[in-house]
């Protein structure tokens, strides 16, 4: 068995696409995933499964969520090791992975070099952004994530891939929960 984390995009936001975590855990258990746990209400699901390709896991979960919930929920899958690496590989020198203004946007696939070049044209006086493989690292130094130009929607549009964003505090909490 291998531990995976499903990061769901866009549930329980502003009273839309509401899903109780107990119901969400039940959906994952119905797919024969083991040791299913959820962290907060934003769609972070930790589970164990036999060695399956992440793409197959993602496809199976998205189809079942759409069938049961009646709406589409984009899902990004990472192994626990990949999630841990996303914290360890923080590209900002001197930035603590527990920093409150640090965020990682998890991408469904690695964006093309051309798409990455598009992002370079957008500059921020307050925020720093680095794209590393399937992760976008962001430091919102002054105004916070709610004011950044590098929103999840912006990144999806410019990079041409599905994405979901978590702050570093949440990522660390998911890792801690998965390891206990």
- Looking at the structure, do residues 71 and 93 belong to the same domain, yes or no? no
- Looking at the structure, do residues 73 and 96 belong to the same domain, yes or no? no
Residue 95 tokens, joined: 């930035």
Question: Residue 97: what pLDDT?
Answer: 64
Provide the whole-model pTM.
Answer: 0.93
Residue 143 tokens, joined: 């105004």
Q: Give 15's pLDDT tier (boundaries 50, 70, 90).
A: confident
Q: Give me the residue label for tokens 């590098």.
A: 150
- Looking at the structure, do residues 75 and 90 belong to the same domain, yes or no? no
pLDDT in tens, 41-58: 889 999 999 888 999 999
C-alpha 52/C-alpha 11 separation (Å) is: 25
Counted domains in the chain: 2
How does strand 163-167 pair with strand 102-107? antiparallel
- Looking at the structure, do residues 26 and 46 belong to the same domain, yes or no? yes
- Compute the mean pLDDT over every residue in the chain, rounded to the nearest whole number: 93
pLDDT in tens, 123-165: 888 899 999 999 999 998 777 888 899 999 999 999 999 999 9
What is the residue-wise DSSP string for the chain? -EEEEEEESSSSBTTBS---HHHHHHHHHHTT-EEEEEETTTTEEEEEESS--HHHHHHHHHHHHHHHHSS---EEEEEHHHHHHHHHT--STT--TT-TTEEEEEESSPPPHHHHHHHHT---SSEEEEEETTEEEEEE-SS-GGG-S--HHHHHHHHTS-EEEEEHHHHHHHHHHHH-
- Looking at the structure, do residues 46 and 130 belong to the same domain, yes or no? no
- Looking at the structure, do residues 44 and 89 belong to the same domain, yes or no? no
Question: Which CATH number characterizes residue 46's domain?
Answer: 3.30.70.1280
- Looking at the structure, do residues 21 and 63 belong to the same domain, yes or no? yes
How does strand 135-140 pair with strand 127-132? antiparallel
pLDDT in tens, 56-114: 999 999 999 999 999 999 999 999 999 999 999 889 877 776 667 899 999 999 999 99
Which residue range(s) make up the domain with 77? 2-81
Q: Give 29's pLDDT tier (boundaries 50, 70, 90).
A: very high
- Looking at the structure, do residues 44 and 97 belong to the same domain, yes or no? no
């Amino acid at each position: 068995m291998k531990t995976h984390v499903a990061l769901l995009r866009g549930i329980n936001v502003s009273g839309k696409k509401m899903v109780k975590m107990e119901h969400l855990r039940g959906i994952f258990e119905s797919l024969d995933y083991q040791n299913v746990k959820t962290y907060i209400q934003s769609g972070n699901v930790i589970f164990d499964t036999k060695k399956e390709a992440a793409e197959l896991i993602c496809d199976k979960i998205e189809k079942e969520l759409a069938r049961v919930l009646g709406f589409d929920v984009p899902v990004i899958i990472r192994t626990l090791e990949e999630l841990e690496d996303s914290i360890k590989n923080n590209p900002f020198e001197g930035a603590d992975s527990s920093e409150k203004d640090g965020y990682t946007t998890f991408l469904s696939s690695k964006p093309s070099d051309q798409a990455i070049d598009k992002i370079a044209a957008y500059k921020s006086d307050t925020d720093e952004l680095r794209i590393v493989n399937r992760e976008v690292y962001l430091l919102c130094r002054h105004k916070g994530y709610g004011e950044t130009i590098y929103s999840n929607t912006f990144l999806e549009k410019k990079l041409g891939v599905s994405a979901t964003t978590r702050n570093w505090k949440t990522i660390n909490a998911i890792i801690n929960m998965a390891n206990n």
